[in-house]
Amino acid sequence: MKITKTTSPQKPLKDKVSISLDPDVVTKIQRLAEDDDRTFSSYINKVLKEHIRTMEDPVIE
C-alpha cells in the first residue's frame, strides 16, 4: 500500500491512501456521506474512527 502525506495551510497533515471497494459499498457510502453533508473521504474517516473507538473501548454488559 502506498501512503502519501498531504498538507494544506489550514488542515492537519493527512495520509493519502488508495483502497479498493466493492461498487455497492461505494454507492452506499456516497449516499451516507451526502446525507451527513461530508465528503466521501471525510465520511470514511469518521466511520473508521468510530469503529476503532468501539474496538478499543468495548462495552461490557
Domain boundaries, the chain: 19-61
Question: How long is the chain?
Answer: 61
Distance of CA 2 to the CA centre of its chain: 17
Query: Given CA atoms 7, 13, 18, 22 in this order, what sign does their dihedral have?
Result: negative
Residue 26 φ then ψ, to 5°:
-60, -45
Distance between CA atoms of residues 6 and 17, nearest Å: 10
Radius of gyration of the chain from its Cα atoms, rounded to whole angstroms: 14
**C-alpha grid cell for residue 13?**
497533515
Report pLDDT for 58: 73
Report pLDDT for 42: 96
Report pLDDT for 14: 85
Q: Which residues, given as ranges, of the chain have pLDDT below 50?
A: none
Report pLDDT for 4: 64
